[in-house]
Amino acid sequence: MHEKIALEEHISTDAMNELRDGASVASGSGKGYIDWVEERLLDVPKRLKDMDDCGIATAVLSLTSPGVQGIVDVDLAVRSAQETNDHIHETFVRPHPDRFAFFASVALQDPDAASQELQRSVSELGAKGALIHGYTNIGDNQSARYLDEPENEPFWATVAELAVPVYLHPREPLPFRQRIYDGYASLLGPAWAFAHETSTHAVRLMLSGLFDRYPATQIILGHLGEALPFTLPYLEHRLCVQRAGAGLGAARQPVSHYFNRNFLVTTSGHFHTRTLESTIAEIGSDRVMFSTDYPFESMQEAAGWFDASLLSYNDKLKVGRGNAERVFGIALAPHPISGEAHVHR
């Protein structure tokens, strides 16, 4: 399938690499893999070549994890978000407007500043929404603020006003919650812990009443919904059984109501056809979008799997590009599923 649109495609900057102080964003994965990832987080020509080779017309870029959410100094976080958004726009989007768009970084250490930066990024730079790396460190790296907490209300009001989606991206659990992974470091990250942390964060949003206050708000989850299409029915059943108990949140509707109306999912890093088909069966083909998770995953593997998947013609068009065109207003000319790629100016 030519002219796919991909949504969880990461970059870094020299400034953000300095803040990481040499710590790799792919730590624990082997030096060869780390070097491959680090090089491609900064490189434009290699990314464009990979996109061309894999039939990806447009990539919506975002800062890699933990992004500005991991910066404890508030002023530095606010400044880093602004500088990152300017860098992506000037380095990727302005020179290649047909190939790149981006999600804004926002520093929720200061929700008012995050609101202002989202407004600026959308209205002045053309950002397609925001990508947030899970919780935000407040005060030190042991403390966190989650997106459902009341301090973030100004930000959600701005999201609703701008009518743009928020991509909820994973990050590792807080250090004091990592004991269960002792001795199994391979699980502490994308292999397992990312999904558990992010799916729980998403459920907090569902239970918080956020979508009752802002019913049109849309949240995007990668990795085919961080397992929620499969675990949410049981969660809903148990919450019903426990309805006389405590800690049920302020939501007016069951969790499935919000998941099917306020969430979209992408295929990033999860290249398994039966799981894709089951996800579509649970939430519908209008709420699933193609992504790769580049450069942590191979575009060739992602595109090769998707192009060969036995989805119906209509579902493949929706997932491959049509849903992203609708959600983000990315306009590409009509095209067949197979045939020569086109360039649109």
The pLDDT tens digits for 40-50 are 999 999 999 99
Residue type, 38: E
Rg (CA), the chain: 19
The pTM for the full model equals 0.94
* Integer Cα distance of 259 and 2 in angstroms: 30
- Which stretches in the chain have pLDDT values below 70? 21-29, 333-345
3-state DSSP assignment of residue 93: helix
Exposed/middle/buried for 61, CB within 10 Å: 0-12, 13-18, 19+?
A: buried
Distances (CA, A) of 195 to 70, 190, 222: 18, 7, 9
pLDDT recorded at residue 33: 84
pLDDT recorded at residue 23: 56
User: Which member of 110, 148, 293, 315 is catalytic?
Assistant: 293
**Sheet with 56-63, side-by-side order of all strands:** 4-11, 56-63, 100-102
pLDDT recorded at residue 321: 97
| Fold observed for domain 4-328 | TIM Barrel (3.20.20)
* Residue closest to 92 by CA, chosen among 79, 102, 82, 80: 102
The residue behind tokens 């919780």 is 135
Domains of the chain, by residue range, sit at 4-328
Distances (CA, A) of 74 to 70, 138, 169: 10, 8, 21
* Integer Cα distance of 281 and 275 in angstroms: 10
Kindly state the DSSP code that residue 67 receives in the 8-state scheme.
G
pLDDT recorded at residue 337: 46
Instruction: Give catalytic status of residue 293 as yes or no.
Output: yes
The pLDDT tens digits for 28-64 are 667 788 888 889 999 999 999 999 999 999 999 999 9
* Integer Cα distance of 193 and 51 in angstroms: 29
| Residue 63 structure tokens | 């800062």
